[in-house]
Structure 1
Amino acid sequence: MSISGITNTALSGMRAQTTRIGAIANNIANSSTPDYARLNTSLTAVTSGGVKAVVSPTASDVDPATELTDLLEAELAYKANAVVFETGADLWEMLMSITRD
C-alpha cells in the first residue's frame, strides 16, 4: 500500500468516526423525546480501502451508558486513525526531503 493509500484509509476512518459521534450526540440529545428511534452506525469496509459509515434508526431505546461507551470507543478509534494519518504525513515529508537532497 502506498503512503497516500494509508493516509486516505486513515482519513476515511476519521470521517466514519465523526459520523458515528454525530449519531451518538443525536441519540443523547433526543433520549427523552417520545417515540424517538435510536440511531445506530454501521461501519463497512470499502473495496478501495478505508471504511464507510451508514447511520440507520433502530427499534431500541436510548441507554445513556451504552451511548457513553460507544462515544469512548469512537473517540479512541478516531485518535488511532489520526495517529496513522500523522505517521503517513511524516513519512511523506521524510520522503520529500530525501528526494530534494
Structure 2
Amino acid sequence: MSLSAVMGIKLSGMQAQQTRATATANNIANAMTPRYDRLETDFYSGDAGGVRASVSPSGAATFDAGSNVDPAQEVVSLIESEIGFKANASAFETGADMWDVLLSIKRD
C-alpha cells in the first residue's frame, strides 16, 4: 500500500468523524424540538479502503412535547467522534512527516 493511499484512508476517517460530529451537534441543537427524530451515523468501508459515513433518522418513536434525543448519549457520541478524529489526524500527520523525509532524501 502506498503512502498516499494510507493518507487518503486517514483523510476519509477524519471526514467520516466530522460527519458524525455534525449530526450529533444537530441532535443536541434540536433536543427540545417537538417530534424531532434524532440522526444516527453509520460507517461503511470505502471501495478503495477507508471509511464513509451515512446519516439518517433513527426511526424511533418521537414525542409531542419533545424529541427522542438523549443528551448523555449525544455527549458520548461527540467524545467518540473527537477521539476518532484525533487518531486519524495523528496518523495523517505521521504520513505527512514521512513525505517530508522522502522529499529531503530525494533532494540530497
TM bin (shorter chain)? over 0.9
Write the distance in 1 (CA, Å) between the matches of 2:5 and 2:99.
Answer: 11
The corresponding residue for 1:86 is: 93
- RMSD between aligned alpha carbons? 0.7
How far does residue 87 in structure 1 lie from its aligned partner after superposition? Answer: 0.3
Write the distance in 2 (CA, Å) between the matches of 1:92 and 1:47.
Answer: 24
The corresponding residue for 1:48 is: 48
Residue 62 in structure 1 maps to residue 62 in structure 2: no
The corresponding residue for 2:63 is: none
Residue 17 in structure 1 maps to residue 17 in structure 2: yes
**Larger Cα-atom Rg:** 2
TM-score by length of 1: 0.97
The corresponding residue for 1:96 is: 103
Q: Deviations over 1:14-56 (max 9, x none)?
A: 0000000000000000001011010000010112011000000
Write the distance in 2 (CA, Å) between the matches of 1:77 and 1:55.
Answer: 17
User: Mean Cα displacement is larger for which, 14-23 or 52-61?
Assistant: 52-61
Number of positions where the alignment pairs a residue of Structure 1 with one of Structure 2: 101
> Gaps spanning 5+ residues in structure 1: where?
none
Write the distance in 1 (CA, Å) between the matches of 2:95 and 2:50.
Answer: 14
TM-score by length of 2: 0.91
2:52 alignment partner AA: K
